[in-house]
Structure formats: structure tokens, C-alpha cells
Homo-oligomer: A and B are copies of this chain.
Amino acid sequence: MNNYGKMNIVIFELEGSNLSSYNIAVVGATGAVGREMVKVLEQRNFPVNKLKLLATERSAGTRINFKGETIEVQVTREGVFKDVDIALFSAGSGPSKKIAPLAVKEGAVVIDNSNAFRMDKRVPLVVPEINPEKIFEHEGIIANPNCSTIQMVVALKPIYDTVGIERIIVSTYQAVSGTGKKAIEELKKQVKEYIKGKDIESSVYPYQIAFNVLPHIDIFKENGYTQEEMKMVNETRKILNDPDLKVSATAARVPVFYGHSESVNVQTKEKITVDEAKRILNKASGIKVVDEPGRLLYPLPLMSEDDDNVLVGRIREDLSHELGLNMWIVANNLRKGAALNAVQIAEELIK
């Protein structure tokens, strides 16, 4: 188990920051999600006193803009979190396990985007639209759920609250940016090689991703599922606080840069009509219903590049089950699926 002390929100005052603005660190600042975190902090006008950008030695020295200022990326090392109030981590599971406890020890509250602490009982797993109250149970670390989980639970929560959910069957269509910057580059490179008639080489994925679909995200587990699929099962249960919720997931990678899509079949506990489902989704925060087939309006990954909402459409009665509903859920995996959700947690934290 991870060995980090119990911290709490009082640290903000102890650290001597201006009470209405905070010292923020982004760990893994040069990655796809890290860069998005910096953007989201700026776009949402998060009250930042000082922004510290951290990465490995390899990326140190990189310059990143924040509110017209250029900030040089520093190496993550002991002592660096001493003046930090909130550290947004997007450094991968291994580094998070090592560095997050250090950051907590040095007085920061960590919001971690990796898989390292999500299922740890002492760590809240938070989607602010769903369980913001859990944030204040933290002992120094708050976990940001997996991208494909976040968008699904945001879309399903209003239905869950209204009629209950018995079972979820989900198939994903996930963008390469979920893997990181290298995967974005790999898809671009492969597409260029294809156009030039060259041999297509793969290094990030085990197979060509351009013009292909890989039913394989993260490592394979003993039960035949991938870790990505099991995250969708276990994290959904934890976030909805429903350990017996039935979830079956198939996760696939598609040659898309940004925006995860999900085909979701949900079996509710009581009957809900399509109209009623649309009505409650329309009212919910963080959701935009895009569902006018007659005008060819439905959620698309390209749409999610400029929209921070979880887009929900193709809502229709399941022809195979009287309590079934099908829907198509799309969100920007780097933003609502990662950076935005993390910053939203930070916003709740300082409220």
C-alpha cells in the first residue's frame, strides 16, 4: 500500500499562498494531458498564484506558455512541492506511485490522472458532476478516473438517479491521444507513409493503427479482459458507489486523434422512455444532447474537439429488452476525460 500521510485543505493557509489564488504544479507537463491541463487552467481562469511545470530530466527546459508568460519545465525532484498547494499529476502510473506520496509529504494535495491510486480505498475517485462530496474525504491524493469511464458515468448518472441501472454493456472507439503524444505522432507518421506508398512502421502500438482497429487497450488480464476494460467496470462501480453494478466492456482503439466514442447499452431498473431520457439528460450539467437524426445530428469525435460537454445522442429504445436503452456517447478524452476533470476537481477543492 502507498504510504502517505493524511493531509487536508488547511494546508493552503499554512503554505502562505494568497488565500484566493494557489500555487499549482503540473507533473508530466510536456505530455498530451499535461499540456491540456495548462490550457484548461488558463481557459477557466483558475486562480493560479504560481504555476510550476514539472517533468522528467528528458523534457526539462521545454518552454510552455501560460497566460502570456513562458514557463520553463523543471525536473521533478525532492523539495519541489514544498510551496505547491495542488499538484495535477499526469505522469503515468509508475511515476505517480513514486512521486505523489512525496508531493503529499511536502504539503501538496495531489490530483492524479493515472491508474495508480484509483481503486485505493483511501483515495476518492471523483467526477465533479457525480460525487463532488467525496473530494473532501481525501488524505492527500484524489484520483481522476479513466477517460472512457468519466464520459460514460457523466452520461449515465441522470438515468441512474431517475430509474436505476441494472446492467451496462459498452463498446468503445478510443482516440490515439489517449495513449499520449507519441501515439498521435505515430498515427500521423503512418498516414504519411501510406500516402507516400512506403512501408508502414509501428512502435507505439503492436500493429498499424492507421486504417485499422485494435481491440486492445492497456495490458491483458488473466480473465481475458484488458486493464482498460476492467477500469470501466471497477471505476464505474466506485464512482457510482454501487459495488454490484453489472458492467461489461470491450475497449478498442480507432484511428482518430481526439475524442472517444462509446456505444452503450444500458438496462435500467424501471422503464424510462427515450423522451424522458432526453429530457433529464438535457437538464444535467456537463452533458449536451446531440440527437436529431432527421437533421443528421449525432455526437462525433471531431465535434468534441471544441466542446467540453459529454455529447450524448442516438438515444433509442433497445429492441431486445423492454428496460434497455441504447446511446452513443462522445467526449474529448484529453479534456473531460482527463485535464478538464482534474481541474474541475481542483475547482471544487478550493470552493
* Minimum CB–CB distance for A243 against chain B, Å: 13
Whether A316 and B261, one on each chain, are in contact in the complex, defined by CB atoms closer than 8 angstroms, is: no
Which parts of A295-327 form the interface with B (CB within 8 Å)? 296, 298-302, 313-321, 324, 326
Q: Which of B195, B211, B224, B263 contacts A250 (CB 8 A)?
A: B263
| A-side interface size class | 35 or more
**Is B302 a contact of A173 with CB atoms below 8 Å?**
no
**Interchain nearest-CB distance for A32 vs B (Å):** 15
> What is the count of identical protomers in the complex?
2
Residues of chain B within 8 A of A296, CB atoms compared: 206, 216
Residues in B with CB closer than 8 Å to A167 are 320-321
Task: Answer whether residue A247 sits at the interface, using C-beta atoms and an 8 A cutoff.
Answer: yes
Contacts of A117 in B (CB 8 A): none
**What B residues does A46 contact at CB under 8 A?**
none
Residues of B within 8 A of A256 (CB): 211-213, 255
- Contact partner, A319, options B212, B233, B293, Cβ 8 Å: B233
Tell me which residues from 194 to 215 in chain A have a Cβ below 8 Å from any Cβ of chain B: 194-195, 206-208, 211-215
Partner of A254, one of B216, B224, B254: B254
The residues of B that contact A255 with a CB separation of less than 8 Å are: 211, 254-256
CB distance from A269 to the nearest CB of B (A): 14
The residue on B at minimum CB distance from A215 is B328
Closest to A206 in B: B296
* Residue with the highest number of chain B CB atoms closer than 10 Å, among A194, A206, A255, A257: A255
A300 smallest CB distance to B (angstroms): 6
A91 to B211, CA, bound (A): 26
A294 proximal to B (CB < 8 A) = yes
Nearest-CB distance from A212 to chain B (Å)?
Answer: 5
Query: A160: CB under 8 A from chain B?
Result: no
Residues of B within 8 A of A211 (CB): 187, 255-257, 301-302
Q: Annotate A160-196 by CB proximity to B: 1 below 8 A, 0 otherwise.
A: 0000000111010100000000000001100110110
Q: Does A284 contact B (CB under 8 A)?
A: no
CB distance A261 to B213 under 8 Å? yes
Q: In the assembly, what is the distance between CA of A315 and CA of B220, in Å?
A: 13
| Cross-chain pairs A/B with CB under 8 angstroms, 11 sampled | A171-B250, A171-B263, A173-B252, A213-B261, A215-B313, A220-B293, A224-B317, A225-B319, A246-B320, A247-B319, A248-B326
5 further interface pairs, Cβ-Cβ under 8 Å (given A173-B213, A252-B263): A173-B254, A208-B302, A212-B302, A215-B300, A248-B265
